[in-house]
Amino acid sequence: MYAVVETVSISDYEKARKVLHDEVIPVVREIPGFVTGHWLAPVDGTGMSVVLFETEADARALADQMPPGRQINEYVTVQTVEIREVAGSVHQIDDVPLQVTPDS
């Protein structure tokens, strides 16, 4: 798996959060290779997201559309974007206590 790790400047968090839930997340869920995404609340006006994809090519397809300086909407502007290989992950799913990915 590969992650798109992005930082953004956010001018109005409440409005940006509404757009995130109403518009951004539904679109991202439909991107080929999408696995999971996490959008973190801003600190001092800077937000962060980590979106995982099955392949590096899938991750690059999103990252290429989000270069630094791109204004995503009137409240959010991309600051940085990186693609990183996922070295491991852990999550709790329903009745299964832990799922751990092996180191690659």
Q: What is the pLDDT of residues 37-76, one digit of tens each?
A: 999 999 999 999 999 999 999 999 999 999 999 999 999 9
- Residue 59 belongs to domain with CATH number: 3.30.70.100
Residue 16 tokens read as: 């940006």
* Predicted TM-score (pTM) of this structure: 0.84
Domain count within the chain: 1
Domain span at 8? 2-100
Q: Give the pair of three-digit tokens for residue 23.
A: 């518009």
Do the beta carbons of residue 69 and residue 7 sit within 8 Å? Answer: no
Question: How far is residue 100's CA from residue 17's CA, in Å, rounded to a whole number?
Answer: 30
